[in-house]
Chains A and B, each alone.
Chain A
Amino acid sequence: MNKKAVYCGEGSFLLTILSVFSVFAVIFMAVGPVHSDVTQTAVVATAAADYSSGAHSVITVDPVGGPRTAQNDLLATISDISVAAHGTYFYRIERYYADNVAKFDINAPDTPIWQYSTLDDGETVSSNPHGLVFESSEKAYLFRYGTTRAWIVNPSTTTEDGFKIGELDLTSYADSDGTPEMENGVIADGKLFVILVRIDRDNSWAPTNTAYVAVFDTETDTEIDTGIDNPDGVLGIPLDIKNPSAIQYLAENNTIYVQGFGRYGSSWSGTDPEYTGGIVSINPDTYETTLVLDDGDDTDHPYGNIAGMAIVSATKGYFVSYEDWGDSTLYTFSPTTGDVGSTISDLKHKGIAGMESGIYVDKNGMLWVCNQTDAQVDILNTTDDTIDESVYTDLNPLKVVFCSEGSPDDSDDDDDDDDFCFIATAAYGSYMEPDVKILRDFRDTYLMNNLPGRLFVNVYYRYSPPIANYISRHSTIKAAVRIGLTPIVGIGYLLLHITAVQISVLLMSLPCLSLISWFAFRTLRRKKAK
């Protein structure tokens, strides 16, 4: 055989193979990162500074760095309102003596789907609904602050008769004024944890009674006996803090956090502030409580009253320090050790709202802070504690929740922990790690929109938390899990960042490439034979 011919034949083959790889390279290089189909939109409850009216705003969560787009002053109403969100829907709650909930689709934020009363027939006193916590799209818990019974509701109903589907009886927690003041709640590991403030409304709203967290099984809606001794003989968890208002569950370390503000001072009654608040953690399995952050005492209270809280990770959280009327400052702190970090420079001596009812980060890891001094939402980058963007809301922002589009069953409200990948978060150390985000996006895009995927996810969420807890305490196992997850992260990244068209091209190009290869190989063999 002629060497030149062989080399020519081999060269042609090599040239062909190189061409094939070039095609692949072009395909891959032409592939730009494709954003996940899941998009988030913030819904902000707002109120006029003089409380003469209220409304809501919707603001895009993207792009990071801004400019985000805001629609303000939607569907004006009274000022005593709050919001909750689940999937693509948000719910506007009108509270004292308005007693109703209205449901909206994020794609039509100024058109209510329905609006239902939160009063039972014959109820004459305002139910004053304060919070709405979602177990699923067909089941949620409505906390009616002015009554002794929380409602179990079906948010997917299309008739008012189908709205209320049950009750939780909290009468045993009522104090001398007749109501337990149910404020807020969170769901963790199949259990509902409800804050009961128990202030004495007949005595200038004094926090003279012990506050509790009642625990309910979300399957049976029966109260769980936590077995903790308490002077009131109730089944719930007594709290060492007064006036609890925010509650949040962190799946990363399987811990519930509750914040209380103690008691604000009043020039009218001549009372000084009471530093009986702070932040406690609760183990959702053992119900053990730990005082994580103490607001101090009468002589030493460096942060004033602790008026709000946001837990981002096991090592990063924020709290609101209240000094005087309209004068609050945002601090960082560690939810694990309770060590206080620094202030957020742009959020000092401002009127800060929203964090008294629990708040959470958006999909980009940004914390949305309600700045009432400047009538804007300050979007805080929790990585470096700088303000990513400030968005003007016209009226004063009261509370922020997030709707998610692209995954109808996904929930992004402040009481749902579905957004977490327990094992991955434990292995990588943070919910915000890029690899954890890839797995999360993969779950949202490929698992949650089909029945087998959802079944898998449900089983995963039911059984993985204790595994994740174990992993988080062993660094060697963490590393091993990270290695094991790497190929999955890689496949997830590829699948998330190649479009359907590109997949089709790839699939179509495979037989073409095979044909080219076969043809090239046959040509080479013929030449060799000659």
Chain B
Amino acid sequence: MKPQLILLLFILFFLFLFPVSLLAETSREAVTLDTVIVTATKPKDAFQTGDVDVEQTPAFFSVIEKEEFEGKMEDLSEVLEKEAGIQVRQSGGLGSFSTVSLRGSSSDQVIVFLDGILLNSASGGGVDLGNISLADIEAIEIYRGVTPINFGKASIGGVVNIKTLRSKEGLNVNASVGYGSFNTRKLSGFINHKPDKWDYLISADYLGSDNDFEFLNDNGTEWNKDDDSWEKRNNAQFDQENLLTKFGFDFTDDVRIDFVNQWFSKDQGLPSWNNGENTKTTFNTNRNISTIKLTVNDVGPYHFNTSTGIDYSWKEEDYDDTEGHVGLGDQHSIYTTTCYGLNSFLEWLTEWNVLSFILDAQHEEYDVDDLLNSTNPRESSRDSFSLGLQDTLLFFKERVIVTPALRYTIIEDELRSAVSSLGVPLEAVSRDEDYLCPQIGLKYCILDWLTLKTNLAKYVREPSFFELFGDRGFFMGNEDLKEEEGANFDAGFEIKWMMSEKWLDRISFNIAYFRSEVDNLISVSYDARGIGKYDNISEARIEGVETGINLEFLEYFRFVGNATWQDPENRSEIGAFNGKQLSGRSEKSYLGRIEAMYGRFKVYSEYVVEKEMYYDTANLLKAKDKEKVNASILWLFRSFLFGFEAKNLGDDHYEDFNGYPSPGRSYFFTIKHSL
């Protein structure tokens, strides 16, 4: 606790600096404040109040722009896995269940936002990246380890912020169609119009695949090769539709209102472990997110910029395994998550600092309807209330930026009383916790081309409903669970150099060391009856190095590479796990991509490697090292963009999850037409 107290005092000291700047500002206000404010205003179209100012943040981050994945048949997991420090695990082909890990964290420890709306559910299990459509994404921001205060919620691994398409000036229309291996088909359309003060945007897309790729089924008998056979993957098909509608109105240059609605629907088959032909298990998801957001800039005498939003989201997941092909026994359950949220962001820009304040309140209800039992309701709810304060202090003409911040969160969980399927009254259970999470970051531009960054932060991950209250009798609840606590540290530097050489146009390089100490790690263990129970019986220490390089050379070529080495060490109380590598995390991952652009052609080839991953906590089941080669060619012909890509040219079959193969070689073709 002592280091954290010291850190807290340090942060409070910096926070108290702002009254000094306030006085300084007050004394200058009468003369030059308006000019200062104008200087500090950010471009409206590309940047909105509430967005993270990536130029100022000391956090290590990546931004993946739309152009990186346009014209490709990819899902979000395939886009993310190519970034340094990020590992994605997929349970099959395109659209299958997939989770993300940042710097060796678990998927539960990564927060995913969609336009500022939290996608993580209190029920737990991380966010399924397969349920996020890529077609209406403008950019993806990834903050590793340290999360800017713009996000009301943070966790030990970091944040993935998905920004959907934003209205642009004029009329923009495009449509695209794609087809590829395993009967994969894609269709999307987009229209955006901003004639004057008002604008609208509609994006609709469909993506589907049979995912009937061939793989070698060993029939569950690893050492009996005689019964192995090449089979098509059964019951892995999916169809998903997505509709994004946005409407905005600029009352003035400083006041804008946005209405956003995103509807998503996905019908998905779940293959059984033995690839049974008659498996009919399905998992269908319907989700709707509605948001109203009011942005008001330059408010009051201090010229605050504010944004306030109200959101409502509803998600229904229908898991149908009535013949017991996949799970333990017959099951047909509908899981409904309903969420109401209020988010208010305020920032005050001065010549010396940017003070940001966030208030985030959320009410989430989770209901499980077991259709095979007459009545067994077990509604849960979570109320969370977060306050965040961050002061971005600017020194020496923004060459030195120090960003202390504080988040305070209150969480109230309740498992409502009910009557079980056996007619037994079930008592309510409640739990209240509050957390204080400080953080501080430093960004130092030593030279124009050399920047040093370092961050220190404390985060928590509160237990999920599943871990607290149990499930279906196979897991006992444990209401005494404490939150996971993590202390994150990172330090590194970035080089960005524009060259005047003919053979080398630009070079950017970054390297960062990261370390995370996680206490009270929540892990499951089973008793002799086979009933699981979650408990705080583990700790973890994760440290590693991530690097990235981007070279533009010989006018037409670009090389992108990144590498991550990490040591995610389990420090569990259980002897068989202690000192072992945390399961599901690769120790090494590399990416190398060479691109060539000539005129309207762009060609690239990339090599992706992930090594040294274990499926299990005792490190007895080692996953096959993954090596994939992908290639693609894009051709812009008038208003048409043609794309052809080949994935996994080596035709190797890997399993991110033990027993769940992913596709081999595949080909896809897309055409996009823009008006």
A residues with a Cβ closer than 8 A to B are 47-53, 55, 73, 76-77, 94, 96-100, 102, 112, 114-117, 119, 124-126, 160, 201-206, 264, 266-271, 307, 322, 325-326, 328, 351-354, 356, 370, 372, 375, 392, 394-395
- Please determine whether A375 and B224 come into contact, CB atoms closer than 8 angstroms: no
Are A99 and B220 CB-contacts (below 8 A) given A48-B576, A48-B617, A160-B227? yes
Which of A112, A271, A326 is the one whose CB lies under 8 Å from B420?
A: A271
Interface residues of B in 111-144 (CB under 8 A from A): none
Residues in B with CB closer than 8 Å to A124 are 276-279, 325
Which of B274, B376, B620 is the one whose CB lies under 8 Å from A269?
A: B376
B527 within 8 A of A: yes
* Interface-centre pick from A49, A51, A206, A395 (highest chain B CB count, 10 A): A49
- Please determine whether A117 and B617 come into contact, CB atoms closer than 8 angstroms: no
Residues in A with CB closer than 8 Å to B274 are 97, 99, 119, 126
**Measured between alpha carbons, how far is A51 from B329 in the docked complex, in Å?**
18
Q: Across the two chains, which residue of chain A brings its CB closest to B370?
A: A204
Are A50 and B621 CB-contacts (below 8 A) given A117-B227, A125-B325? no
- Please determine whether B226 and A160 come into contact, CB atoms closer than 8 angstroms: yes
Residues in A with CB closer than 8 Å to B422 are 204, 206, 269-271
Which applies to chain B's interface (DSSP): helix, strand, loop or mixed? loop
B421 within 8 A of A: yes
- Please determine whether B220 and A117 come into contact, CB atoms closer than 8 angstroms: yes
Q: Across the two chains, which residue of chain A brings its CB closest to B376?
A: A269
**Measured between alpha carbons, how far is A119 from B275 in the docked complex, in Å?**
13
- Please determine whether B527 and A325 come into contact, CB atoms closer than 8 angstroms: yes
- Please determine whether A52 and B226 come into contact, CB atoms closer than 8 angstroms: no
Residues in B with CB closer than 8 Å to A394 are 575-576, 618
| Surface stretch bound by A, among B46-54, B352-360, B467-475, B665-673 | B467-475
**Measured between alpha carbons, how far is A73 from B223 in the docked complex, in Å?**
17
Interface string of B455-490 (1 = CB under 8 A from A): 000000000000000111101110000000000000
Top 7 closest pairs, chain A to chain B, by CB:
A76-B620, A53-B616, A270-B424, A353-B528, A52-B616, A49-B525, A124-B278
| Surface stretch bound by A, among B72-80, B290-298, B529-537, B600-608 | B529-537
Are A49 and B576 CB-contacts (below 8 A) given A267-B470, A325-B531? yes
B residues with a Cβ closer than 8 A to A are 219-224, 226-227, 272-274, 276-279, 323-325, 328-330, 372-373, 376, 378, 420-422, 424-426, 470-473, 475-477, 523-529, 531-533, 574-577, 583, 615-618, 620-621
**Measured between alpha carbons, how far is A382 from B407 in the docked complex, in Å?**
60
The distance from the CB of B321 to the nearest CB of chain A, in whole angstroms, is 12
Residues in B with CB closer than 8 Å to A326 are 527-528, 533
30 contacts between A and B (CB under 8 A): A48-B577, A48-B620, A51-B524, A52-B615, A52-B617, A53-B620, A96-B328, A99-B274, A100-B224, A117-B227, A124-B276, A124-B279, A160-B226, A201-B330, A202-B330, A203-B373, A205-B473, A267-B476, A268-B378, A268-B477, A269-B376, A270-B424, A271-B422, A325-B533, A326-B528, A351-B527, A354-B528, A356-B528, A372-B527, A375-B575
Are A204 and B477 CB-contacts (below 8 A) given A116-B224, A375-B576? no
Are A50 and B525 CB-contacts (below 8 A) given A97-B274, A115-B221, A268-B471? yes
Residues in B with CB closer than 8 Å to A307 are 528-529
The distance from the CB of A33 to the nearest CB of chain B, in whole angstroms, is 39
The distance from the CB of A299 to the nearest CB of chain B, in whole angstroms, is 18
Are A49 and B220 CB-contacts (below 8 A) given A307-B529, A353-B528? no
**Measured between alpha carbons, how far is A349 from B279 in the docked complex, in Å?**
42
Are A115 and B532 CB-contacts (below 8 A) given A73-B620, A202-B372, A394-B575? no
Residues in B with CB closer than 8 Å to A117 are 219-221, 224, 227
- Please determine whether A98 and B476 come into contact, CB atoms closer than 8 angstroms: no
* Interface-centre pick from A96, A116, A160, A266 (highest chain B CB count, 10 A): A266
- Please determine whether A49 and B223 come into contact, CB atoms closer than 8 angstroms: no
- Please determine whether B272 and A269 come into contact, CB atoms closer than 8 angstroms: no
Starting from the known contacts A47-B526, A394-B618, A395-B576, 18 additional A-B residue pairs (CB-CB under 8 Å) come to A53-B617, A73-B620, A76-B618, A97-B220, A97-B272, A97-B274, A100-B219, A115-B222, A117-B220, A125-B323, A126-B274, A160-B224, A202-B372, A267-B470, A269-B424, A372-B527, A372-B528, A375-B574
**Measured between alpha carbons, how far is A326 from B574 in the docked complex, in Å?**
14
The distance from the CB of B91 to the nearest CB of chain A, in whole angstroms, is 15
**Measured between alpha carbons, how far is A53 from B658 in the docked complex, in Å?**
10
- Please determine whether A50 and B528 come into contact, CB atoms closer than 8 angstroms: no
- Please determine whether B421 and A269 come into contact, CB atoms closer than 8 angstroms: yes
Residues in B with CB closer than 8 Å to A51 are 524, 526, 532
Residues in B with CB closer than 8 Å to A325 are 476, 527, 531, 533
Residues in A with CB closer than 8 Å to B226 are 160
- Please determine whether A52 and B220 come into contact, CB atoms closer than 8 angstroms: no
- Please determine whether A48 and B618 come into contact, CB atoms closer than 8 angstroms: yes
Residues in A with CB closer than 8 Å to B328 are 96
Q: Across the two chains, which residue of chain B brings its CB closest to A73?
A: B620
Residues in A with CB closer than 8 Å to B420 are 268-271
Which of B279, B529, B618 is the one whose CB lies under 8 Å from A52?
A: B618
Residues in A with CB closer than 8 Å to B527 are 325-326, 351, 372
**Measured between alpha carbons, how far is A124 from B278 in the docked complex, in Å?**
7
Residues in B with CB closer than 8 Å to A97 are 220, 272-274
- Please determine whether B323 and A268 come into contact, CB atoms closer than 8 angstroms: no
- Please determine whether B574 and A125 come into contact, CB atoms closer than 8 angstroms: no
Residues in A with CB closer than 8 Å to B523 are 50
Q: Across the two chains, which residue of chain A brings its CB closest to B279?
A: A124
